[in-house]
Amino acid sequence: MRRSYEFLDHPGPIPFAHRGGASGRPENSMAAFQRATDLGYRYLETDAHATADGVVVAFHDRTLDRVTDRTGAIARLPWAEVARARIGGTEPIPRLEDVLGSFPEARVNIDLKDAPVIGPLAETLRRTRAWNRVCITSFSTRGWRRCAPGSPWSPTTRCAWRSARAA
């Protein structure tokens, strides 16, 4: 019997807007996510990090250095400091909660980048009630084990990840 997962209920290939799709917009910015949804993308991809005070941000790198006008490790900075950074010098780093809230019809693939994001991410998903429209991924097997049974992840989210990775 084949199980069905809401996240994956799309006929045929699933195009993802990686890091928001960018398309001339700074990666992982609200402008990039908006452009992707305007183009018809139903699936967005982003990475998640937690600030020192537990705010989950949609951002690829561990540090601000590569794509923003600021420097420093996100995990060591409070949200107030990270919020001042501008991607490409123009766009603020979005909170994941804002991405989920602004695009309620979008399915979002979230790549866990560091273990400290797991608890804050689970709380963000609880608050936004986005469990059935996200897929939690990680390139780190160790990181994924932390999200295994007994963790706060719902069976749908966890199984959707396993199904997507197994395919």
Which residue in 105, 103, 108, 104 sits closest to 164, CA to CA? 108
Distance between CA 90 and CA 132 in Å, rounded? Answer: 32
Q: Which of 19, 35, 49, 60 is catalytic?
A: 60
Q: Is 49 a catalytic residue?
A: no
User: 């290939």: which residue's tokens?
Assistant: 13
Cβ within 8 Å of residue 25, ≥6 positions away: 31, 32, 34, 35, 91
Distance between CA 57 and CA 76 in Å, rounded? Answer: 13
Q: Is 18 a catalytic residue?
A: yes
Q: Which of 5, 18, 88, 123 is catalytic?
A: 18
Measured between its terminal Cα atoms, the distance across the chain in Å is 16
Structure tokens at 78: 């409070």
Task: Enumerate the active-site residues.
Answer: 18, 60
